[in-house]
Structure 1
Amino acid sequence: MRLMSVVLLFILAFFYSINGFAYDESKPSYTPIVSINNKVNQLLIQSESTPTHTELMLKENPIDFQKLNPAEQYLYLMILANIAKIKGQHNEVITYLLEAQELEPIINEDQLSQLSFLNLYKKLARSYAKTGQFKKAYDANHAYITKYDVFMKSERDKYIFELEDKYETKRKKDINTLLNNQTELKALEIDESLHNEVLQRRNIYIISFLVFIFLLLLLRLLSMNKRIHELSKEDMLTGVRNRKTLFRYGKSAIKRCIENKVGLCLLAVNIDGFKGLNEIHGDYIGDEVLKRFALLGTESMRTRDIFARLEDATFIVVLPEASEDEAKAIAQHLKEKVAAFNFDYVGIHQQLDISVSIVELSESLNNFELLLNTAMNVLYEMRDGDNNQIKIYQQ
């Protein structure tokens, strides 16, 4: 029996030794902690407060990136990220931080748990949030909180170890055990608090994101509705008021002027020879001429005036609180402005002229339709006779 026991112990020891060697061979290689150049540490601290000054220092005294060890390269990339951040280049920040993150497998884990290295995830979360990548921002922030929790636990363990090492007597060890238990209890409370905080943050991020999407869609909808409403008022080609808006605004302006007992003039403006010009040069050039004329007309008007396109090359101008002399001055200004404009850029090497008829609000001409019809009749008479003139309707 004794001999069998010895043999059994020998066999167990043999298998244990084989398993132990197999385990040792499967162990990953140890990555040592490397020293950090003091210059890199100083530049990192400086880049947090004065990144612009740090950038100037690097230009004057550049650092050879290839000569740095992996940990120094990691911190150097964080310096570059801080410089890019102050310029608002958040995509560049993300690129630098992700390059640094790729170095983590060849850096000691204890070294990576230091605050100067952990801050990478906080910076990454902020830059993702600035570029609208909220899911990645949440993941990076979650990684930071998790790693920071590990760091705090490590610091606490170091503190406890130092206490145990300092006090050697059994009595003091018992006190340290009691403190350790209290610390662990507090750590559990902190862990629970951090966990609740993470959950709260996650819920806040989700709610904020949903609110943001809702507001974005609401603003988009309001913007589209506003644009549709504005487009319904505009002439599709020239961008000035269209016929429908002209009648609505014109009637309103006349009613207001009659109530306030102030004057009003209506101008009918036509581009002379536009039909022939359009036939010679084509619709595209004709459209460009109309667009440019509309722009020149808008620039010539007062803020309260209504400038609209009625049809083809005919435009209507409603001038509230304007006498015949003031209306004629505005018409003359528009005429000179069109005549002086160079249309060479669209292939028209001739001066464009306009004809303008002016009708003033009166007791007999006291509504928009009468004013418009009268102005158009005067304009038609000018087409049959001499163009390129300004004519005031005389009752």
Structure 2
Amino acid sequence: MRKYSWLKTITLYLFTISISTVACADEIIGQQQVFNNIDSLSAKQQKSIVALAVNNEILSLLTLSVYDKAAAQVKLLALQELPLTVNIAEQYLLYIVRANISDIEGQEHKVINWLNKAIKLEPLLTKKQLDTPLFSSAYLTLADIYARQGEGKKAYDTKRLYIKKYFAHLNHQKELSVKRLDEKYNIEKKHEENELLTQNSQIKHYALASAEAERSEQYLNIAIFIAAVSVFFLLLLRQFKISRALKLLAKTDSLTLLPNRGAFFSNGYNFMTRALLADKELSVLMLDIDNFKSINDNFGHDVGDSVICHVAALASETMRSRDFFARIGGEEFAAILPDASIEQAHAIAEHMREKIQDDISMYKNNKIRVTVSIGIVSIADVRESFDSLLHAADMAMYQAKINGRNQVCSFAKEKK
């Protein structure tokens, strides 16, 4: 009896376990039939031509899954126990719900799996319904998951799809609003015509405004360019004038405005080199104001400066256009006479001496008779260097002073 009783107990236990297992399996299969029956039915159904209705319970569950995953999980399990048949749109949203519930750290692959299942249903739904925020949110969530996984390219592409759907939805909503207004007031045709006219007017206005703005900008740029070039040119011209003035000042005597000693020597070397190479005549003249120290002592330095300037002016008047006349020191002047023999140089010097001697001018109410001593030399007599030539003219000038002043002496005669 005990043996049969033990066997009966084991048999009842195994039967109970078998019944429980079958019940659980039936429950799971039932749930899958309720929420996953689209996997088996999608092949039989054609694409929907209108937006499918969505149960309010599923809509509230979708909202809850975003803010409270635990409560959404409980409500999902409760919903699965109801004899509820879902359409493709509802199944799409239930996949999004499951993705939202699974959206925790470390479970990203589950989220991607649920969302990909939802996306697979898109061929059976209308584009307008898929573009709504309820359905397009799957792409936004998927983009966030890819970004968290470091898959930038996938995240970028998925986000672009979401944005495209979002703007398509906005355009559709705008079209619906316009259509309702057109239907309400029965002015669709007139509105379209007015809109077309408005758009054309706006396009023309924009084109005109753009062309005018571009033209104004071009004029402004041209004006700025011309102004900049003008300023640059003026600055360059001013700099050139300043540079030229500085160079001229560096070569000009400040009192008489004649070339100074440096300019005289610089030009003298060039004149002598050309004369020697071309085997032409060249003479040099040296002039010194007689008794100039007495003029300074008796009448003052201002009168002395006036005398120097006056002598410079008178002597310059006797120069030929090709001659080079300069002040080389206090009361000393010198001239380079190209193509002039010693006789021609003597004639020029004598004319200069007489012109200065015959001019009696008033200097601050004082009549002063000024005379000069002049020495001349020709390249025919001194050919070593310009310094030697000038030194010879200087010697001839001092000989004129020794001889009594107010006369012209040539180096050639003195040497003889």
Q: Give me the TM-score of the superposition, normalised by structure 2.
A: 0.48
1:184 to partner: Cα distance: 6.5
User: Which residue in the other structure is 1:65 paired with?
Assistant: none
Unaligned runs of 5+ in 1: 1-174
Q: Secondary structure at the match of 1:331?
A: helix
Higher alpha-carbon Rg: 2
Identity of aligned residues (%): 31
1:181 to partner: Cα distance: 8.1
Unaligned runs of 5+ in 2: 1-192
Question: Residue 385 and residue 333 in structure 1: after superposition, are their counterparts in 2 closer, same or farther (change >3 A)?
Answer: closer
1:387 aligns with 2:405: yes
Q: How does 1:194-343 map to 2 (within 5 A)?
A: 194-343=212-361
Partner Cα distance (1:183, 1:341) in 2: 91
| 1:58-79 residue CA offsets vs partner (Å, 9 max, x unmatched) | xxxxxxxxxxxxxxxxxxxxxx
Partner Cα distance (1:210, 1:257) in 2: 49
Counterpart contact for 2:284–2:376, Cα < 8 Å: yes
CA RMSD after TM alignment: 2.7
User: Which residue in the other structure is 1:193 paired with?
Assistant: 211
What amino acid does structure 2 have at the position aligned with 1:359? V
| 1:83-136 residue CA offsets vs partner (Å, 9 max, x unmatched) | xxxxxxxxxxxxxxxxxxxxxxxxxxxxxxxxxxxxxxxxxxxxxxxxxxxxxx
1:388 to partner: Cα distance: 0.8
Q: How does 1:1-395 map to 2 (within 5 A)?
A: 185-344=203-362, 346-362=364-380, 364-393=382-411, 394=413, 395=415
Partner Cα distance (1:380, 1:317) in 2: 16
Partner Cα distance (2:194, 2:359) in 1: 93
What amino acid does structure 2 have at the position aligned with 1:287? D
Q: Secondary structure at the match of 2:285?
A: strand
Question: Residue 330 and residue 179 in structure 1: after superposition, are their counterparts in 2 closer, same or farther (change >3 A)?
Answer: farther
Matched residue count: 222
Question: Residue 374 and residue 182 in structure 1: after superposition, are their counterparts in 2 closer, same or farther (change >3 A)?
Answer: same
Counterpart contact for 2:303–2:363, Cα < 8 Å: no
1:319 to partner: Cα distance: 0.7
Q: Secondary structure at the match of 1:268?
A: strand
| 1:219-250 residue CA offsets vs partner (Å, 9 max, x unmatched) | 11111111111222122222212212222211
Counterpart contact for 1:339–1:352, Cα < 8 Å: yes
Partner Cα distance (1:250, 1:225) in 2: 23
Q: Secondary structure at the match of 1:298?
A: helix
Q: Secondary structure at the match of 2:247?
A: helix
What amino acid does structure 1 have at the position aligned with 2:372? I
Q: Secondary structure at the match of 2:401?
A: helix
What amino acid does structure 2 have at the position aligned with 1:337? K
Partner Cα distance (2:196, 2:354) in 1: 97
1:183 to partner: Cα distance: 6.3
